[in-house]
Structure 1
Amino acid sequence: MILCRGKTVAEAMNMGEILAERISDLFPHPIRLEFEKVYRPFILVGKKRYVGAMYSANPESHDKIDIKGLDTVRRNCTLYVSRITKDCIKDIIEKGNIDAAVERARKAVDDLLSGGADAAELILYRTHAKKKYKSAQAHLCVVDKRIARGGEPAKVCDRIPYVICKEWVTDEEELQKQRKDRPHEFAEGENRAVQRKVAYRAEDPDYVKEKGLSIDYAYYECKQLKRPLLRLFGPVLGGEKKAASKIWPTNN
């Protein structure tokens, strides 16, 4: 990629065509370098991670919003994170309204922490593979629970849906008993408090709905939404620290 500072889209496209011709002249036939596209605006998040309005033919109208390597296009991304980041990208790239994007991100965090997010948008998926893991995996814990409840075992390559729930045992005595019986499920958390590991708090979405289990919204905010927002807004707002101070003003 070449940064064409101060150029219009049309001028950048013309530069690309000229450079492609001149570089092609340096190589023997049939090697040819072709001009592909211009991005404006463009957000470079990192190596092979970027988003921008892509122009390939008409400098007056972009072909599409091209997203590469960001969380919004990853298969293990929740629908909630994907929808919010895509909407923020539209605010920034298509509308040029960074303030609106920041406000949208801030509201998404507030909605999530207040339990206003749609539970269906918080479902995570992992593919069931025939391999061994060093640590407990949420999707495998869900498979084991389904089998224990009389369900069918998962097949290799099945996509296992699950959500992360809050600790459902409220009686301290019972919780300590479970900790003693199944110590592998627990770990020392904040303030040295003993907590059940996240993988063991994963549950089948249908079971969560049936039993009315509480979703751990704080987990989704911290482990699912925060990093994608910081990665997107970091280059736009002058770094991830500044982005965090805008989206999470009360935490700074």
Structure 2
Amino acid sequence: MTDPPLSTMSFRPVTLKLEKVYMGSVLVSKKRYVGNKFEAPTQETGVIESKGIETVRRDSCGVVQHAMQVSLETLFASCDLSKVKKTLEKYWQQILEHRVPLKDFIFAKEVRLGTYSNESAPPAALVSMMAMEKDPRAEPRYAERVPYVVVNGPPGARLMDLVVPPDEYFDKRKRHSINYHYYINKQIIPSLERLFLLTGANIRLWYATLPRSSVKARQFDNATPTRRSSRGCRSIDSFYKSKHCRLCGSLGNDTLCADCIANPQRSLLAIHTAATRHEKAVMTLNFVCTACADRDAFTSCNNVSCRVWNHIKLFETDKSTLSYQE
């Protein structure tokens, strides 16, 4: 390949080199843009490069980053907004059907205690203050990132009333549930609007017209109309009760279906098999944590971004279900 004409006009040894070309780009504002980057003429697939938007910002959460990433990939690959809409609808349904891991809903924002008033403290600072009420040694360092999630609450509740640390969410998972509509309406959609309003797409209308038939409501196996949230207010989830057999999953009105009741030995074997499998999985995960910490015994870990940590917390939540079945 010969040198470009501009390189031939330069004095030796100065030559011009092609750094990159954006074949498709979105300019949000100054120093905030994203483009489909190509660095060589032989490169067939572009690489998305983001500057200053949510996909590379640390103060965002995983669901926002993933939604923006997949929508941009679809847009640059097809230049078809209808395909972008289908991609977002699929991801929104995954969120509403509880098929997205908790680590993608965790915010981790900097806290600078001593610089806020009680009325204007951000959610991360409120979580830190609640932790310090239980243990004064839990005070975060200046500008330390404090994780939290947003859960459901009573109608009209403020954001400061809906934030809890990830540990508390797992410990009281039967009482807390992720506020999916907050993440979609207040986090995902505004971030996408800053990009796609330039193309004329109405992201809020896409979500408003999302088919709700496939959205599964969260069901609690031990739900009763008298169960209340931590702040003394009922939520609609507290009235849901599963009609599925706790053992085989078939529909029925009782805790166990007629077939499982008619075969007690088979049912007992299935319960003990599940309990054994559960214990082996927990032992394996604890071994991974022990190796990661380089300790001879399992130690407490609060790395909320770790996939192993998320699995351990899920198994701890399932332990109560197995104990109830036994």
Query: One fold, TM greater than 0.5?
Result: yes
Q: CA offsets, 1:84-108, max 9 Å, x none?
A: 2112222222354543321111222
Contact 1:105 1:229 in 2 (8 A): no
Query: What's 1:54 paired with?
Result: 37
1:159 aligns with 2:145: yes
Counterpart secondary structure, 1:207:
helix
Quick one: distance in 2 between partners of 1:87 and 1:119? 19
Q: TM-score, normalised by structure 2?
A: 0.53
Quick one: distance in 1 between partners of 2:206 and 2:126? 37
Query: What's 1:45 paired with?
Result: 28
Quick one: distance in 2 between partners of 1:160 and 1:53? 33
Percent of pairs identical after alignment?
Answer: 25
Of 196, 199, 220 in structure 1, the residue corresponding to residue 160 of structure 2 is 199
Residues matched between the structures, number: 205
Quick one: distance in 2 between partners of 1:248 and 1:33? 50
Larger CA deviation: 201-210 vs 85-94:
85-94
Q: Which residue type is aligned with residue 79 of structure 1?
A: G
Over aligned residues, Cα RMSD in angstroms? 3.4
Of 158, 169, 193 in structure 2, the residue corresponding to residue 208 of structure 1 is 169
1:147 aligns with 2:132: yes
Of 105, 118, 129 in structure 1, the residue corresponding to residue 112 of structure 2 is 129
Query: What's 2:265 paired with?
Result: none
Quick one: distance in 1 between partners of 2:128 and 2:8? 57
Quick one: distance in 2 between partners of 1:52 and 1:99? 20
1:233 aligns with 2:196: yes
From the CA coordinates, give the structure whose radius of gyration is larger. 2
Q: Which residue type is aligned with residue 194 of structure 2?
A: R
Quick one: distance in 2 between partners of 1:208 and 1:234? 35
Structure (1/2) with the larger strand percentage? 1
Query: What's 1:189 paired with?
Result: none
Counterpart secondary structure, 1:215:
coil
The change in CA–CA distance for 1:149 and 1:96 in structure 2 (over 3 A counts) is same
Q: Runs of 4 or more off by more than 6 Å in structure 1?
A: 19-22, 31-34
What runs of 5+ residues in structure 2 fail to find an aligned partner?
Answer: 212-326
Quick one: distance in 2 between partners of 1:68 and 1:20? 29
The change in CA–CA distance for 1:109 and 1:20 in structure 2 (over 3 A counts) is farther
Q: Which residue type is aligned with residue 156 of structure 1?
A: Y
- With CA pairs under 8 Å and 6+ residues apart, which has the higher RCO, 1 or 2? 1
Contact 1:103 1:247 in 2 (8 A): no
The change in CA–CA distance for 1:131 and 1:37 in structure 2 (over 3 A counts) is farther
1:82 aligns with 2:36: no
Quick one: distance in 2 between partners of 1:101 and 1:126? 29
Counterpart secondary structure, 2:138:
coil
Q: CA offsets, 1:91-133, max 9 Å, x none?
A: 2223545433211112223333454432221000111225513
